[in-house]
A and B are shown apart, each in its own frame.
Chain A
Amino acid sequence: MLKKISRKNAIHVMLFYTGGCNGCDIEVANVAWSPRYDLEQYKVILTWNPREADVLAVTGPVLRRTIEPLKKLYEAIPEPKIVAAVGSCGVRCGIFKDFGGELGDSDEVLCRVDEVIPVDAYIPGCPARPEDIIAGIAAGIPLLLER
């Protein structure tokens, strides 16, 4: 009971950029820092420390050089945790996979986020709109309460 109320009332979001184009990253930062959206009024706080986080927002496809850090960061977050894949790239690798010209896909773009770590919330959009990001994180909260 108290557990659920406390989790509902304080959610820490962490952001990790695995390699998008910056659009979604700025939008997530925008949600937290822009007074128009003001993530904190919904009791969601942006943090940079995996030990503090509940929600890991991943933007972008998983690249060769960011797959190990992503796994490590995911392990560093204590349970319960949910992962939100933000943007088309986070959800389906976006424009960087299955889209190649004559030489095919890029070798650097490895896979989707949910092939590396379990993803609970998918937030599509190129880039994801701030309203969608808030809604996506909110959609993940019931999962957080159950765990």
Chain B
Amino acid sequence: MIELILATIIIPLAALITGFLIPGVERKVQARIQQRIGPPLLTPGFWAILKFFYKEKIKPNSPMPRLFHSLPIIGIFVMFFAVLFTTPEWWSLNALGTVVAVVGLLKVIEFLFMAIGSFSRSILSVSMPYADQIKGAVMKGDYRRFFEQQSVLRAFKMITVGSFPLYLAMFVPVVLVKSINFSDIVQFQGFDASFIYPGGLIDLMYLEKILSLKPILFTFPGMLAGFVFFVGYIMLLNEYPFSIEKAKSDVIEGPSLEYAAWARGGYYLMRESILFALSSVFITMFIGLPPTLNLPLLLVHCLLCLIMPILFSIVSAFSPIFTFKQIYPVSMGFTALGFLAMIVSLLAVM
């Protein structure tokens, strides 16, 4: 019981600290690719958020301000639960430690982007005080759409199109292990109870044990699935090149335009927690190292969680925004690759 409570406190804390680093690492990698120095590691992820908490609280232009402001907090909690479901301490609690539960939580996140966008009415588009409806114009639009509403439509499309690769990839280990429980998935890769409570606190045994893991990632279907997961990860996060939902060149920032002060900090925290949670789920499922109470293991886990953001920041530094013209074929292609991984893993099991 104590372990459960400790895990519930310490693991989200570790997630937060790693999350603070991730945007900085991401920005730094991009900056180095762009041949400039770039911001310090903590600036985009930590100090910016802290600064927003110290800004004036203003009422957003929103039909439902309170709900609008509470959505990022919901997102943060949802993502923390997604991480907690994968921890060994929570397996004993109930049947929540399954891939299906995490998929359900990720669906909530996808929906949250839509909800955020539909409650926001930014000054930057329709409500800009500027007389533009010209008398002589032939063309008449029935309804004037805010940027956020445009991005809600896009988010809706992304839910249907963009989420196939991620979820397909997440079910490849399930097929290989023949179980949806995280406990079975990590045990399949060689993780057992002796990992959590070995002899001493700091011991070379950890390294040996981690090296003795047999990750699914290093099998053929696992490698395919890992690749597909990576693309799905970028799609779910709406990062370049799949950032159509918040494409800077036409909807500026998309759903989050109206967040100010602490809510904006909350929104960034939500993004960080999604980043961490998805990486963490990947490490758990494909490398077989769940976040545990064991601090050295947790440290290794958090460091491994930085790999995915670094990889995707390299990809996003070299890619433009895709419109749906490009997203449909790309998504279909990676879905096909996911199916291939699924079939290969089915053959491997049989």
Contacts and interface: CB of A to CB of B under 8 A. Distances in A.
Is chain B in direct contact with chain A in the complex (CB below 8 A)?
yes
Contact of A73 (B40, B48, B123, B260): B123
Contacts of A35: 34-36
Contacts of A49: 122, 124, 252-253, 257
A51, A73, A76 — most chain B CB neighbours (10 Å): A51
B117 to A, nearest CB: 14
A2 B128 contact: no
Nearest to A51: B260
Interface stretch (A36-44, A95-103, A119-127, A128-136): A36-44
A76 B129 CA distance: 13
A57 to B, nearest CB: 17
B interface, by DSSP: helix, strand, loop or mixed?
loop
B42 A7 contact: no
A68 B44 contact: no
A79 B56 CA distance: 5
Interface string A1-27: 011011101101000000000000000
A78 to B, nearest CB: 4
Given A2-B50, A35-B36, A40 B27 contact: yes
A142 B39 CA distance: 20
A68 B128 CA distance: 9
Contacts of A7: 51, 54
Interface residues of B, number: 37
A50 interface: yes
A51 B54 contact: no
A118 interface: no
A40 B31 contact: yes
Given A35-B34, A35-B35, A48-B252, A76 B123 contact: yes
Contacts of B264: 51-52
Contacts of B60: 51
Given A2-B50, A3-B54, A78-B56, A40 B36 contact: yes
A138 interface: no
Contact of A41 (B37, B44, B51): B37
Contact of B51 (A10, A68, A73): A10
A48 B43 contact: no
A38 B43 contact: no
B130 interface: yes
B42 A9 contact: yes
A45 B43 CA distance: 10
Given A3-B54, A48-B248, A50-B124, 11 more contacts: A2-B50, A7-B51, A7-B54, A9-B42, A9-B47, A9-B48, A38-B37, A40-B27, A48-B252, A49-B257, A78-B261
